[in-house]
Chain A
Amino acid sequence: MFHPLIPGAALPDDWFAGTIPRNIIAGENSVIDSSFCFKHYYAQGAVGLRVGRNVTIWRASLAADEGALIEIGDDTYVANASLVCTERISIGARVMIAGGVTIADSDFHPIAPAARLADTVALSPVGDRKRRPPVEARPVVIEDDVWIGFNATILKGVRIGAGAVIAPGALVLRDVAAGTEVAGNPAQPIRGGAA
């Protein structure tokens, strides 16, 4: 059962006791299945999520830190995927995102051992999550007409060119040229482009 994405709305018969956040903008005929998609949405900016027209989002996680902005273009379809955004994730128009996909613009924790150790304390039952050490974020851009297969992972700083195909299970660390297909961990071109 789908419901229009209306800022601040409580969805009828929602199994999750949440609401659609107020700081979103959604175009005509864009829908979502449950407020559960916003369980980890903490964006505080004037706009934390901007969605175009005819967008479908179901069983997804739109995890947004305080300063995050997630953009999703017209006609894009997001099924059972996790968008984990610290700063910015921009997804173009007519993008298909399959189940189990993770798109993240940070690594979630610091990589330096001492800062990482401090993060375990901040995240612990006795810590203060508001005082976590900073993590590096680099925006992710997914251009128009990209197809992202099941369980693929797109990591921070990656730009995926228009029309590219990301094979199921691929782990994408580097930019993907328009019109190419990549697969594997780390993902390598398997079709199209100069490679």
Chain B
Amino acid sequence: MTVLAHDWYRGGIPANVVLGRDVYVDTAYSFAPFFSEEEQALVMGEASGAYDRTAFVVGARGRVTVGAYTVLNATTLVCNDRISIGAHCLLAWGSVVTDTWPDAGASPEARRRALAAAAADPHRRLPPVSPPRPVTLEDNVWIGFDAVILPGVTIGRGAVIGCKTIVRENVPPYAVVAGDPARILRTLDPDDTEEARLRALRDHGHDHAR
């Protein structure tokens, strides 16, 4: 367990969390709900960051990867299987990415069983009511504030999810999605080439590859 020098929270970062070079974590409070028993249960790429009240709500079998330069700004990740977030993603405050949520067909009995299991657990972990379904955010995805990404969804490279949007279905690359219900407003010009990425890194004095 690693304790952060600047932290107000008394806990630390679990040993199965792998932080790349120049990663910033505001507080180990982000890991208070982190219970993964997997090896390399959370891998954060170079110069990524978990800011403010970001929460890693990760169950025993959960595995999360966060790509280089990705910003988790007061974001909640709920993972009982797999959440994969690419490089250069922006996840704004209040946004939620979850691979676990009761299916439409989940019975009240199943929810009661989950609640009973939580009540019997000193850590009050809530087991999945429905089987988790992995979520993938490809590179350079932007999730607006208070948006929610539900289980099984893949969001394509460069896509933008507007604030307060609930995403239940896959989003194609470079789509701009907003509204309730969510719909595609337009498609962006895919100008985020490898050359553009290297230029941005060079511009900030980091010309090594990811």
Binding site for B on A (CB under 8 A): 102, 108-109, 111-114, 116-128, 131, 153, 169, 171, 184-186
Distance between B93 CB and nearest chain A CB, rounded to angstroms: 9
A92–B206 CA distance with the chains assembled, in angstroms: 46
Enumerate chain B residues within 8 angstroms of A185, measured Cβ to Cβ: 164-165, 178-180
Q: Which range holds the interface residue count of chain B?
A: 35 or more
B109 in the interface (beta carbon within 8 A): no
If A113-B191, A120-B88 touch, whether A186 touches B178 (CB-CB below 8 Å) is yes
Contact between B191 and A121, CB atoms less than 8 A apart: no
Contacts A124-B49, A125-B24 known; 6 new A-B pairs at CB < 8 A = A112-B191, A113-B174, A118-B199, A120-B71, A120-B90, A122-B200
User: What total count of A-B pairs have CB within 8 Å?
Assistant: 96
Closest B residue to A184 using CB positions: B180
A126 touching B204, Cβ below 8 Å: yes
Complex alpha-carbon distance, A123 and B162, angstroms = 20
- By a CB distance below 8 angstroms, the chain B residues around A114 are 191-193, 196, 200
Q: State in angstroms the CA–CA spacing of A184 and B70 once bound together.
A: 30
Tell whether, in the assembled complex, residue B70 and residue A120 are in contact, meaning their CB atoms are under 8 Å apart: yes
Chain B, 151-202, CB within 8 A of any chain A CB: 158, 160, 162-165, 174, 176, 178-180, 188-193, 196-197, 199-201
Chain B CB count within 10 A is highest, among A112, A120, A171, for A120
Can you spell out 14 A-B residue pairs with CB atoms less than 8 angstroms apart?
A113-B140, A113-B188, A113-B191, A114-B196, A116-B158, A117-B200, A120-B71, A124-B69, A126-B47, A153-B164, A169-B164, A171-B179, A185-B165, A186-B178
Chain A residues contacting B164 (CB-CB under 8 Å) are 153, 169, 171, 185
> Does B48 lie at the interface of the complex (its beta carbon under 8 Å from any beta carbon of A)?
yes
Q: Cα distance A112–B140 when bound, in Å?
A: 10
Q: Min CB distance, A96 to chain B, in Å?
A: 21
How far is it, in angstroms, between the C-alpha of A91 and the C-alpha of B103 when the chains are bound? Answer: 43
A71 to B197, CA, bound (A): 38
Decide if B192 touches A117 in the complex (CB within 8 Å): yes
- Cβ A120 vs Cβ B69 within 8 A: yes
Contact A126-B90, Cβ < 8 Å, known A111-B176, A113-B191, A121-B200: no
- A108 vs B204: C-alpha distance when bound (angstroms): 20
The smallest C-beta distance from A145 to any residue of chain B, in angstroms, reads 26
Select from chain A the residue with minimum beta-carbon distance to B196. Answer: A114
Q: Give every chain A residue within 8 A of B162 (Cβ-Cβ).
A: 171
- Whether A117 lies near B160 (C-beta < 8 A) is no
